[in-house]
Amino acid sequence: MVVLSTEVTEALPTVPAATKSAATKSAAVETVSVEFPPSLARRRPLRALLPAALALLLAAPLLTAAHQARTAPYGDRLTDHTLHARVEHATRPPLRTAGATVEAYDAQTGRTRWTYTREGRRPLGVLPARGDAIALWDDGLVTATVRGDGSAVRWHRALPGAAPWLAAHGGAGVLRALGPRMLAVVTPQRIAAYRIADGDLRWLLPARSGCAFAPARAVRARAALMIAQPCAATDSWTGEIIAVDDLGRITPDRTPLGNGRRGERHSLEHAHTGKVVARPR
């Protein structure tokens, strides 16, 4: 049994107003013992926790809704159109752009498998590379999305100062594959090469002074990508064409940067030479 003490104050006798200032009566205090059953005593802590538990239950839906309402980084929105059924395919799905959407679809049925959008943005082109879907957007952002199931955006890379030019000229020829592991992004000011696996910037080639690259005017010659670089004034047409591969610009007796060829290292003593374009004469 649990014994609790309570204090009860007896009523004081009525004292005439004239004698209150002369004498002070003390209140007698009597101790009264009240006994509660043990089961009731054990329930009191549980009842004290009940309001807090109810508050958590009421807050859980609000927290979940707030989490789902958060804006994804870069405005990304990936939608699986296969009702979350992961169907194995022997080949990766083909890609296309439709309005503001990048789509992967089934080649046999034409049905959309997944879509990728960015809030307020429009894709200018999409390139299948390795196992990813490389997309160029009108704000100058390049993204790589897992191509097989569209489950995640692997990386984002911004092109400095490219948005105004893209708005005026579109994205024709901007995305170029440099072999199975490297991506070239060609804009008038520069060529940037990114490793497809993680988006790491491997090398950067600026245009010559007074010249500008023409992304739409490029052709492949074996392992090399030939890109037009028209200049305001030049004395040789060969100066308006450059050749690059996954290791950078191709020039006689060059020393490449060594950008990701497994098991291959380069140095000044063992230069990787190439002569795809004849010397200017």
Secondary structure (3-state) at 23: coil
Token pair 């290292």 in the structure block, residue: 265
The pTM assigned to this predicted structure is: 0.65
Give which of 177, 182, 238, 239 is closest to 210, Cα–Cα.
239
What dihedral do alpha carbons 228, 206, 137, 173 form, nearest 10°? 10
The pLDDT, as a whole number, for residue 62 is 53
Beta bridge partners of 178: 182
Token pair 């002070």 in the structure block, residue: 24
User: For 123-158, what is each residue's pLDDT tens digit?
Assistant: 999 999 988 999 999 999 999 999 888 889 999 999
The pLDDT, as a whole number, for residue 73 is 78
Which domains does the chain possess?
2-19+26-68 (no CATH), 74-169 (2.40.10.480), 172-281 (no CATH)
Per-residue pLDDT tens listing for the chain (281 residues): 444 444 444 444 454 544 444 444 444 445 445 454 555 445 556 566 666 666 666 655 555 444 343 446 799 999 988 865 555 555 689 999 999 999 999 888 889 999 999 999 999 999 999 889 999 999 999 999 998 888 899 999 999 999 999 999 999 999 999 999 999 999 999 999 999 999 999 999 999 999 999 999 999 988 899 999 999 876 566 668 999 999 999 988 776 555 544 444 333 333 333 333 333 33
The pLDDT, as a whole number, for residue 117 is 96
Secondary structure (3-state) at 276: coil
Secondary structure (3-state) at 66: helix
CA distances from 68 to 46, 125, 152 (A): 33, 29, 17
Within 13 A of 111's CA, how many CA atoms are on the CB side? 6
